[in-house]
Structure 1
Amino acid sequence: MSIKEVRESLGEQVEVFAMFASLKLEGGVKIEELPVV
């Protein structure tokens, strides 16, 4: 499943997750430490 398809399916949730994932890749925070929405 492509990113575009996922974003169309889940909308904002995917955008938020992508932002958190980017922070994790940059060494900012761990996904496990983020609050679940």
Structure 2
Amino acid sequence: MGTTAQAPVRRPCPARPEGPAAGARPDGRFEDEA
């Protein structure tokens, strides 16, 4: 995982809105919220 080759467009996931790039944890919680 972590490869953009799988999908041409990055669709927001319910667990990860922007993915690890946005600073979201695997739980789906942002580090700013912790």
TM-score w.r.t. the length of structure 2 is 0.22
Greater RCO, CA 8 A, separation 6+: 2
* Higher relative helix content: 1
TM-score w.r.t. the length of structure 1 is 0.23
